[in-house]
Amino acid sequence: MRKLSMDDLNRDSVEEFKNKKKIPLVLVLDNVRSLNNVGSVFRTADAFMAGKVYLCGITGTPPHRDIEKTALGATESVEWEHVPDTLELVKKLQADGYKVCSVEQAENSTMLNDFRPEPGQQYAFVLGNEVFGVEQEVVSLSDVVLEIPQFGTKHSLNISVATGVVVWDFLSKTLAQQQA
């Protein structure tokens, strides 16, 4: 077995990527402190064709070398917007027909493995601050609170890892529904 080269991968150009249909999912970063985490979320959004990334509150924005270090150019391909207030954005997204899902450990949360995306529904996944998580007001307003099952001693994941887990889960379930 031979590893594939960059030429073998036949990647889309930034313009080709921008013109492709995206999955019905946007990512909302709620006061994320680490610029490296922000860059990693951009790469995940690019890899799985997320519709947009919203950078809320104190979340850093491109251009910044620490974001670019991990984004590897994904800030150019993925649509993004800075919004000062996460709660106001959540209200707007809900008014626009999005189902808002906070990724958090909370009472009566839905375990990610039990989550079933509704066909045709647009989703917004909110991921929170590295120390404090998603703001309580945002959790309270969310349509669903998704919890990633964890079995170790730490019971926390880095936000960039959590983003990859939930977006892949969403995409794989959505693709399975389309094939059924």
Within a 13 Å sphere around the CA of 76, how many CA atoms are in the beta-carbon half? 8
| pLDDT beyond 90 at 155 | no
Q: What is the pLDDT of residues 103-148, one digit of tens each?
A: 999 999 999 999 999 999 999 999 999 999 999 999 999 999 999 9
| Percent of the chain's residues with pLDDT above 90 | 89
pTM over the 0.85 mark: yes
Average pLDDT over residues 51-71: 97
Contact criterion met (CB below 8 Å) for 132 and 105? no
3-state secondary structure of 83: strand
Contact criterion met (CB below 8 Å) for 83 and 32? no
